[in-house]
Amino acid sequence: MSTVQGRLRIAVQKSGRLADRSLDLIRDAGLKWVKGHNDLLYRVENYPIDLLRVRDDDIPTFVADGVCDLGIVGENVLEEGRNGGANASVVMPLGFGRCTLKIATPPTLAYDSPASLDGLRIATSYPKILRRFLDERGVKADIVVMRGAVEVAPRLKLAAAICDLVSTGATLEANGLGAKDTVLESQAVLIQSPVAPEPALQHLLDSIIERMSGVVSSQG
């Protein structure tokens, strides 16, 4: 699949923790748009570019398939979405949206290392990342996938431990859980499609990446 004739597309989270900072970066890179009645697509006025506003979970697929040329998404979502086919590549880390995917346990579970999870059930929204972490350490555990409210799983006896995103730790604490080993350190990244844009747009794509890179490095 290729992009719409004559325009580049950048995929950004429609609403949520990455939405505002993603648009700030694009604006700081010199792109201007007006919020139209079209909620899905923001049309950039000063370049042939559209911003596609979607669920963050869809961004890796859209970029991998060439539906979008660039995207801004958390490394956690990118890693979880990896599959056997062509994947989006990371252009650069963006310095925002930082969070950590951690193992967390209730005080009733004796935990020294990932081996303590052997034979237990772990709840997470990130089954692929967690499975790789456990496999690399030779730990055999059952994974139960929850889309949200993972932190309630131990209390409901759905799982003995969880693997969830943490930034301040307040949610864990409120649920009587303690953070243990780190499974993944994550931040927002700029990703690029393996599908080249039409030749007339290649220079624009390169220059947008260049400007974003300038903005990110100026922010230290």
Point out which residues bind ligand ATP (CB under 6 A): 13, 16-18, 55-57, 74, 76-77, 97, 99, 165, 167, 186
Query: Residue 66 touches which of ligand ATP, Zn ion, none (CB < 5 to 8 A by kind)?
Result: none
Least distance (Å) between residue 19 CB and Zn ion: 11
Least distance (Å) between residue 155 CB and ligand ATP: 19
Residue among 56 and 164 whose Cβ is closer to Zn ion: 56
In 10 A of CB 14, how many CB atoms? Answer: 17
- Measured CA to CA in angstroms, residue 90 lies from 15, 30, 193 at distances of 22, 21, 9
Query: Residue 197 touches which of Zn ion, ligand ATP, none (CB < 5 to 8 A by kind)?
Result: none
Least distance (Å) between residue 84 CB and ligand ATP: 22
Query: Residue 211 touches which of ligand ATP, Zn ion, none (CB < 5 to 8 A by kind)?
Result: none
Q: Of 94, 164, 83, nearest to 123 (Cα)?
A: 164
- Using a 10 angstrom Cβ sphere, with 0-12 exposed, 13-18 middle and 19 or more buried, the burial of residue 127 is middle
- For 116, the token pair is 């303590």
Question: What is the Cα–Cα distance from 19 to 75, expressed in whole angstroms?
Answer: 15
Q: How many residues bind Zn ion (CB under 5 A)?
A: 2
> Which residues from 52-81 bind Zn ion, rule CB under 5 A?
56-57
Residue among 10 and 31 whose Cβ is closer to Zn ion: 10
Residue among 48 and 169 whose Cβ is closer to ligand ATP: 169
- For 215, the token pair is 């903005």
Least distance (Å) between residue 171 CB and ligand ATP: 8
Phi, psi of 116 (to 5 degrees): -65, -15
Instruction: HSE, CB side, 13 Å, CA atoms: give it for residue 156.
Output: 11
For Zn ion, the binding residues (CB under 5 A) are: 56-57
